[in-house]
Amino acid sequence: MFGLNSVIKVVKLVYDQAVDEYYNEDKIKEKLLRISLKYDRGEISEAEYEEREEELIERLAEARRYRKELEDEGVREDE
pLDDT tens per residue across span 22-71: 899 999 999 999 999 999 999 999 999 999 999 999 999 999 999 999 88
Q: Supply the pTM of this predicted model.
A: 0.73
Q: Indicate the residue type of 54.
A: E
d(CA 48, CA 67): 28
Amino acid 35: pLDDT:
98
DSSP string covering 6-36, please? Answer: HHHHHHHHHHHHHHHHHT-HHHHHHHHHHHH
Domain ranges of the chain: 20-78
d(CA 77, CA 4): 29
